[in-house]
Structure 1
Amino acid sequence: MSALPTLAGLAYREALPAKAARGEALLVHGFPSSSYMWRPALEALARAGFRAVAPDLAGFGDSPPRRPGTWESHIEALEEFRQEADVERAALVVHDWGGLIGLRWACDHPGAVSALVISSSGFFADGKWHGLARGLRTEGQGEQLLQSLTGEGFAEVMRQTSPGMDEAARDEYYKCLADGERQASVLELYRSGDFAKLEPYQGRLAELEVPTLVVWGESDDFAPLAGAQRLAGEIPGAELAVIEGGGHFIYDERADAAAARVAAFLADRA
């Protein structure tokens, strides 16, 4: 049983300001992370006066899987969570798959979004998946890859991918692969991730007309910096912040720097 509170079937973390909130923030993680990743950002946002809420997506962290585990199912679950959490209009902070999920949700619910903070996630109809994702999207290959990945094997992969990530985070993030149902949910997510689905959304982030920060690790091997530059260029007025010494998992590797940058940006625009 989850030690975290739950709403709409999703476990979540929340941080509250000492006084009346000046705004709300909704933080959405990606693969293989969970709301655990957002702890420094949640605390920084609360200190800056925001009510900050971060769910564990279905099948990740302490949230049970929700089948099907598709892109669309996660978008629906995010809206259900937002309503249950009584989040009216929030700054949306996203990373990795959280961007693909959260940004589609934002375009579908523009009145619920006050600002955007985007990290390590594309939103392009002509996007291309990296090698690991292509493997997960391939029938048979994805099943074999995940079934053969033990907890220790996962930890070693993450040590190589993100040397700055601590052991507690690695243990937390393995939860999304800990059993067959969760593995199946991850495969459903990747196999539903056809970038052509973003064709109707092209230009829609700009149409939101909200303050936008694109914050990226300088050495992101999964989502190269060129994607950050393109994203910032397509959203009028967007700011680009590059976190020195950060890779793909900047909220683990450079947690304090990334969290401070996000909180300062949103506080200046609340």
Structure 2
Amino acid sequence: MPAPSETTSTVTVDGLRVRVARTRPAGIADPPVVIVLHGWGAHIEALGSILAGLRDQVELIAPDLPGHGRSDMVPGAWTNADYARFVVKLADALGIGRFALIGHSRGAAIALVLATEPDSRDRVERMVFTGAAGIKPRRRAAYYGKVGMAKVGKAAAKVGGAPGRKLQESIRGRVASADWLAAPEALRGTLRNVLAEDLSPRLPQVSAPTLLMWGDRDDDTPMWMAEKMEREIPGAGLVVLRGGGHYAYAEQAGQFNVVAAHFLTQGGRRGGAAVGGADADARAGARP
């Protein structure tokens, strides 16, 4: 069987240089086009299991989102909508009209915005979300304590000169998230924006067929978020990958890719199912 064609190139979108991986299956005249979006702080390589598992059946396009990997930094504090517009402009630059989307974590949040904006929703054929971000988490008391400490640090930095700034950095090291600490200064405004937005009101506005694939041990975007999306996205189906965490698409790559490929190329079965090794626990049409 001929090997798929694979290229990695730099594409310029609105003045930003963006690294893009693209694969096209051999022997398929008009394959479905699927844009694959990584999560926050990740890059194309994090999607390796998806790109390797689906490359014989669909055309795949995977960018390093601006501010990530080897792409240029965002020019300011972007929002989820800014990233969604970027994806549309990337598709335009590549000569792509309609496409499907696979989104992991923040990538799924961007896909959700893209699929519900009036000027781009008709371009989305179908979507696969895995460990999707975008829903406001349930906060515990400890979180609000950290917020209070962060405000103290910010105030100290404003009025306390060098000692105040040192105190702020010390407090940040104790209370900030791993994503915040890892993000370069130029990207922190963007991180603040995307985390602040609750995309729940967009869920009922989705018209594209949507499949949710989730690890039941995902602590970053817990199962209750998947169940909320299943309830509120019209006609959505939920597949539970037993034993999978936030990166269930890679941890359970064989199962993920089989189900995703069927959905993306043949429409798949609507409704839910749980997948875990040889023990597949079907729950078609189930609702919590």
The TM-score, its normalising length taken from structure 2, stands at 0.69
Deviation of the 1:216 alpha carbon: 0.5
Q: Quote the Cα distance in structure 2 between the aligned partners of 1:259 and 1:197.
A: 27
Aligned to 1:204: 205
- Which letter does structure 1 place at the counterpart of 2:9? P
The CA distance in 1 between the partners of 2:94 and 2:45, in whole Å, is 18
Give aligned-pair identity as a percent.
23
Q: For 1:70-90, what per-residue CA distance to the aligned partner results, in whole angstroms no more than 9, with x for missing partners?
A: 224322322221211222111
Residues 19-34 of structure 1: matches in 2 within 5 Å? 19=27, 20-34=29-43
For residues 261 and 202 of structure 1, the distance between their equivalents in structure 2, rounded to whole angstroms, comes to 22
Q: Is the 8 A contact 1:130 1:222 kept in 2?
A: no
Secondary structure of 1:22 counterpart: coil
Aligned runs of 1:171-182 on 2, under 5 Å? 177=182
Structure 2 residue ranges without an equivalent (≥5)? 1-6, 155-167, 269-288
Specify whether residues 239 and 65 from structure 1 end up closer, same or farther in structure 2 by C-alpha distance, changes over 3 A only: same
2:256 to 241, 252, 258: 258
SS of the residue aligned with 1:192?
A: helix
Give 1:254's aligned amino acid: Q
Aligned counterparts of 1:256 and 1:103: Cα–Cα separation in 2: 25
Listed one character per residue, the Cα deviations across residues 112-149 of structure 1 (whole Å, up to 9, x for unaligned) are: 1000111112444xx23779x9979x6768x949x979
Cα distance in structure 1, aligned partners of 2:60 and 2:41: 21
- Counterpart residue number, 1:60: 68
Deviations 1:36-82 (A, max 9, x none): 1222212332212x111011111111112112142243223222212
Do 2:32 and 2:264's aligned partners in 1 also have CA atoms closer than 8 Å?
no
Q: Is the 8 A contact 1:89 1:113 kept in 2?
A: yes
Contact 2:20 2:64 in 1 (8 A): yes
Task: Kindly indicate which of the two structures has a greater share of residues assigned to helix.
Answer: 1
**TM-score normalised by length of structure 1:** 0.74
1:75 counterpart = 2:76: no
Distance (whole Å) between structure 1 residues aligned to residue 187 and residue 249 of structure 2: 21
Q: 1:144 to 1:250 in 2, by over 3 A?
A: farther
The answer to whether the Cα contact below 8 Å between 2:203 and 2:233 also exists between their aligned partners in 1 is no
The equivalent residue for 2:93 is 84
Correspondence for 1:184: 185
Contact 2:22 2:61 (8 Å CA) reproduced? yes
- Superposition deviation, residue 252 in structure 1: 3.1
What letter is aligned with 2:242? E
Distance in 1 (CA, whole Å) between partners of 2:211 and 2:217 is 18
Change (3 A) 1:244 1:192: same
**SS of the counterpart of 1:5?**
strand
CA RMSD of aligned residues (A): 3.3
Q: Distance in 2 between matches of 1:81 and 1:74?
A: 10
Equivalent residue letter for 1:251: Y
1:211-255 deviation per Cα after TM superposition (whole angstroms, max 9, x unaligned):
211001110001111111110121232211111221001233223
Query: Which stretches in structure 1 are left out of the alignment for 5+ residues?
Result: 150-156, 158-172
Q: How many residues align?
A: 232
Residues of 2 paired with 1:66 and 1:123: CA distance? 20
The structure with the largest alpha-carbon Rg is 2
**Closer, same or farther: CA 226–114 of 1 in aligned 2, 3 Å:** same
Q: Which has the higher relative contact order, 1 or 2, with Cα contacts under 8 A spaced 6 or more apart?
A: 1
Residue identity in the other structure for 2:63: P
2:218 is aligned to 220
The 5 A counterparts of 1:6-17 are 6-7=10-11, 8=13, 9-17=17-25
**Which of 194, 197, 212 is 1:195 aligned to?**
197
- Whether the 8 Å CA contact 2:216–2:223 is kept in 1: the answer is yes
Q: What is residue 266 of structure 2 aligned with on the other side?
A: 268
1:121 has 2:136 as partner: no
Aligned partners of 2:185 and 2:139: how far apart in 1? 20
Q: Distance in 2 between matches of 1:130 and 1:29?
A: 25
In structure 2, distance between residues paired with 1:234 and 1:92: 19
